[in-house]
Chain A
Amino acid sequence: MTVLAIIAALLAGVWLLAAIEGWAAHGRFSLIRPLAAALALLGRESIVPRKADRLFFEVAPVLLLVAGLLAVAVIPLAPGLIVVDLATGALFVNAALAYVLVALIMAGWGPDGAYAMIGGWRFLGQFIGYSMLVVMPITAVAMRAESLSTVEIVASQADLWNIAYQPLGFVLFVIAAMALAWLPPFDLPAAEGDLAGGIEAEYAGARLLVLRLARMVIVLALAGAVTTFYLGGWLGPWLPSWAWSGLKTLAVASAMLMLGRHLPRIREARFLELCWKAGVPLALVNIFLVGVIALVVPT
């Protein structure tokens, strides 16, 4: 029952996000368009490029989807409404989403196309930048909760949400999450302008549909992670707890989908420079501050 409820929430979330992304990109909000686009993709021929590494080409979209779904499995929607409450949940989110990198490298290498391959390897460079900024803010979150369990992390924010307790970590984690989901201005692997779709360039039809669906699941999982780690998860007055999780997750996901569109696409070298010269020291400062607060302020 729990799993069914979560799958329903996931499908509804992905549908709404696709509508919101369409709104951000084309300026028109329509709930029908994502469905029509999905049906159209299903109806089109799913071309396999000549001399493709067939195994990689076929596995990549599925692996991407599996990585996203595994991350969703440890995000709590309400007390008890979680697929599996792992004792290492916060780490597991990161472990599952590490396979986004593997899937994108496979999607880049698989089709034997120049644009796709550049996109795939670009994402590896991007990963070197953002990966520390995913793990280090999670460390600070776990320090406060004294647990890696996502349920415990939400419970630890009953008095004060982490966005107020560790705002620096919040900002770094959201930036890293946007880079992980290759959302603008970090959309280097798919860069429409210079790579003609990059990792998506050689995919068509049903395979492209799976790829896009997987990307939306990943955005949703990351927004759920931001909600769980920093926005108090299901905590909130009046509304039922699942509604709070849902609303917060959708709000975060919408912000992630929309905000970056107003910025120019960042260069790979600049992104790495910013992450390592500014991001990592700031993340260390965040861990230090949270440690000091945890030691000084009595619980």
Chain B
Amino acid sequence: MSGSAAETLFLVFFGAAAVWFGIVVFRTHSMVRSAIALLFAQTAVGAMFLVMQAEFLGVLQIMMMASEMSIMAIFMVMFMMDPGGLGAMEMTHQKRLSLKAGGAGFAFALGVILLGGWGPAAQEVPAAAAQTAALGRELLGRSMFVFESAGLTILTAMIAATMVAIAPQGEKEG
């Protein structure tokens, strides 16, 4: 089997895994299972990056999602009435609206993929270290404004979340 055929095969495999774990998110009753399924859907996307030889992005995706989804899991457990899913809670709500929104989102993504001008495909994949360097230049050059505003937004959210979590003066925790 040639290299590119194997690459396509793995890409399809991890793509299918990502979609399947995405479906599991809604099919399970347990909040923790749902969060972990989402985590593995994201990990599969990271694996797709690796198959496409975008090493830094792949490793970053696999690393970040492990912590992010785990933190999401504990929030889901804290806020939901039935985190273990023992009461067979339904994970889908407002089905008709969700279906329409999901369908519209899918159509939009498909439109961007098919109609967007992607430019000529790269003939050769740059070496992994060169990719990392190029990404660094991109983030600290052309995309710096977007990158920094995202960072500032997250910082604001973190400070706000900390403020909300701190008990008001004079009110001792029980």
Contact A92 B59 (CB under 8 A): yes
B63: chain A residues at CB < 8 Å are 91, 94-95, 98
A88 interface hit (Cβ, 8 Å): yes
Given A95-B59, A106-B36, A121-B74, A87 contacting B66 (CB threshold 8 A): no
Tell me if B139 is interfacial: C-beta within 8 Å of chain A: no
Q: Which residue of A lies closest to B43 (CB)?
A: A99
**Residue A242 at the chain B interface, CB threshold 8 Å:** no
Given A53-B33, A91-B60, decide whether A98 and B66 contact each other with a Cβ distance below 8 A. Answer: yes
- CB contacts between A and B, total, < 8 Å: 67
**Which chain B residue shows the least CB distance to A102?**
B66
**Stretch among B99-107, B110-118, B124-132 lining the A interface:** B124-132
Q: Is there a chain B Cβ closer than 8 Å to A253's Cβ?
A: no
Whether A127 lies near B70 (C-beta < 8 A) is: yes
A219 in the interface (beta carbon within 8 A): no
* Known contacts A101-B67, A131-B67; A56 and B132 CB within 8 A of each other: no
Chain B interface main SS type: helix
Contact of A88 among B32, B59, B67, B74 (CB under 8 A): B59
Find chain A residues with CB under 8 A from B73 CB: 105
Would you give the 0/1 interface string for A148-160, flagging 1 where the beta carbon is closer than 8 Å to chain B? 1100000000000
- Is B45 interfacial (CB 8 A cutoff)? no
Among A87, A105, A128, the residue within 8 A (CB) of B55 is A87
**How many of B's residues come within 8 Å of A, CB to CB?**
25
Chain B residue numbers with a CB within 8 Å of A56 are 32-33, 36
Tell me what chain A mostly uses at the interface: helix, strand, loop, or mixed.
helix
- CB neighbours of B66 from chain A (8 A): 95, 98-99, 101-102
A98 to B30, CA, bound (A): 23
Contacts of A88 in B (CB 8 A): 55-56, 59, 128, 132
The reply to whether the CB of A39 lies closer than 8 angstroms to some CB of chain B is no
Q: Name the CB-closest residue of A to B39.
A: A102
Contact of B70 with A87 in the complex, beta carbons under 8 Å: no
Q: Is the CB of B70 within 8 A of A147?
A: no
Encode B74-104 as 1/0 by CB contact (under 8 A) with A.
1001000000100000000000000000000
CB-nearest residue of chain A relative to B69? A102
Write the A52-77 contact mask toward B (1 if CB under 8 angstroms, else 0): 01011000000000000000000000
Given the complex, which residues of B lie within 8 Å of A92, measured CB to CB? 59
B62 an interface residue at 8 Å Cβ cutoff? yes
CB-based contact B74/A91 at 8 Å:
no
Cα(A88)–Cα(B84), bound, Å: 38
A101 → chain B closest CB, angstroms: 5
**Residue B71, interface by CB 8 Å:** yes
Provide the A96-132 mask, 1 if CB < 8 A to any CB of B, else 0.
Answer: 0011011001100100100000000100100110010
Contact flag A98-B67 (CB < 8 Å), given A87-B128, A87-B129 = yes
Jot down 8 A-B pairs with beta carbons below 8 A, ordered by A.
A88-B55, A92-B59, A94-B63, A101-B67, A112-B84, A128-B71, A148-B129, A149-B129
Give 15 A-B pairs besides A124-B70, A147-B129 with Cβ atoms closer than 8 angstroms: A56-B32, A87-B56, A91-B59, A95-B62, A95-B66, A102-B69, A102-B70, A105-B32, A105-B70, A106-B36, A109-B32, A127-B67, A128-B71, A148-B132, A149-B129
Chain A residues near B (Cβ < 8 Å): 53, 55-56, 86-88, 91-92, 94-95, 98-99, 101-102, 105-106, 109, 112, 121, 124, 127-128, 131, 147-149
